[in-house]
Chain A
Amino acid sequence: MFDFITETALFKEYEVYIMTTIYVLVIMIPLFVAVAYTTWLERKVIGAMQVRIGPRNVGFRGLLQPWADMFKLIFKEIILPSGANKVLFVIAPVITLASAVAAWAVIPFDAEKVLSKVNAGLLYVLAVTSVGVYGVIIAGWASNSKYALLGAMRSAAQIVAYEIAMGFALVGVLMAAGSMNLGEIVLAQKGTNGLLDWYWLPLLPLFLVYFISGVAETNRAPFDVAEGESEIVAGFHVEYSGMTFAVFFLAEYANMILISALASIMFLGGWLSPFEGVHNFLWLGIDMHALTAWVPGMAWFFAKIFIFIFLYLWFRATFPRYRYDQIMRLGWKVFIPITIVWILVVGFMVLGEVSPWWGATA
């Protein structure tokens, strides 16, 4: 179709760069659309949970509401506080968004659909997401405002605490799969028992710790003390307005989707079907493997992401905000000991070749 372009000498010379840019756009644009509709979904779901209707006036069932919000925020004035450090003030939201987006480079969507098959993919994701906290810290400091600084302090302490638990949970996955390549981690969960082959079962404590730490890392309710509008107004982004504020929100939702994607890759078998190799479903003689063979892997992957996104929204509608010292206690005194103990257990399980996850049958 595009022969007249792909045949040119100029294209051939820069093919790698051009194709990579196109692949990046193919990931980025749907991601931002997904972010926009996550905000719509959030308002609808929380509305339903609180017996309200949610947005309904802009477009059919309020489906155009995210676009209306976006245009409103784009045309709003960006206010630079007079006492702020101008350069850092503008860079902060960019850092937050960049780190949220960069991690998508190694996320495998299907067996061969991944932008970059990095060997140390797991480490890369952990490193890139840990840079995101600088956006919050710099925003809080550059704003030159008490509330913003308090929010930044809380966020820094919280993220350092939960990153350790998160890292240890990933060590468990790494030991179980024997690889840091996200694609190979998914393939290590492939077996003949469908969803029982995934790591959520043998690594259940790590799975729970990972997802709860993920909620804390993205500063979402009930761990949103960095914003804490009832205590410190809006935390680190009090002074932000218009598009700079919107970029923070974009990053927060992109991070939510990212954590959901990572949790589904590491614990729920990524693009694998839950009926993989299940030829005799519940001993009823139904061949679910053949029945669901037509579903593309990506559909399963997106369905799993959706489950986690829904959990995020459910948490927000259900739980009251944690108190700051309780968050610290949970992170340091509960999660880290749990993960350390379970890493030992995983070690013994891998050594003992516990089936069906390890050993010859896996």
Chain B
Amino acid sequence: MTGVQFLFYAFAAMMVFCALMVITVRNPVRSALFLVLTFVSCSAIWLLMEAEFLAITLVLVYVGAVMVLFLFVVMMLDININRLKEGFVKYLPVGIGVAGLFGGMLTWLLYNVEAADLKTKMRTMYPPSAKPADYSNTEELGEVLYTVYVYPFEIAAVILLVAIVAAIALTFRRRTTTKYQNPDQQVSVKRDDRLRVVKMDSEEKK
């Protein structure tokens, strides 16, 4: 086993273990932290595939931003585990059905009539040749994204923009009861607005 293979199996094992922990751990904060670890090991596997842009972006976006916000919310909420588990028996048949469907599809794919063909393919398929050191995954991805896939890319961007506008529109309402400060007014305040000098005679001592 080469070093790269060892790394792959190590990170793959860690990823599967963490993914399992995400759905089995009782504490929601620990579950979110395991999800973070899953992302990190996934990013390590992508690095092994020389897809450094995707790997780094996964850490940057999902680990660095999305999961931080997720944890932020999860830590603040007092989630009652028992209530979440209430429907477990009720939904168990559906869950088993879905799991069975996926398992069946995978088994069908692997042990189909063409299984012999697939097995030989998997045996004879060599890993893609390693790229030269000056190969930039980022540039390659950018080129494809802005030429071949420019419309899907921009449509996705617009959909995200709509989602942002909608989210802000839903939460943006000015409450008249809250007091807030206007820093511009605070900074531009003049002496005469706040201070009044009163001239008066001193009192006589009686």
Contacts and interface: CB of A to CB of B under 8 A. Distances in A.
B112 interface: no
Contacts of B59: 127-128, 130-131
B15 interface: no
B63 A131 contact: yes
A95 B138 CA distance: 27
Interface stretch (B6-14, B68-76, B115-123, B158-166): B68-76
Contacts of A152: 75
A181 to B, nearest CB: 9
Classify the interface of chain B: helix, strand, loop or mixed. helix
A123 B53 contact: yes
Interface residues of B, number: 22
Nearest to A159: B68
B21 interface: no
B64 A163 contact: yes
A68 interface: no
Contact of A130 (B29, B65, B75, B76): B65
A110 B49 CA distance: 30
B75 A153 contact: yes
A124 interface: yes
Interface in A78-117: 88
Contact of A329 (B53, B56, B71, B183): B183
Contacts of A120: 52-53, 56, 136-138
A138 B30 CA distance: 10
Interface size class of A (residues with CB under 8 A): 20 to 34
Classify the interface of chain A: helix, strand, loop or mixed. helix
B60 A126 contact: yes
A160 B68 contact: yes
A123 B71 contact: no
A326 B186 CA distance: 12
B33 interface: yes
Interface of A: 88, 118-120, 123-124, 126-128, 130-131, 133-134, 137-138, 141, 149, 152-153, 156-157, 159-160, 163, 180, 326, 329
9 contacts: A120-B136, A123-B138, A130-B64, A131-B63, A131-B64, A137-B71, A137-B72, A153-B72, A160-B65
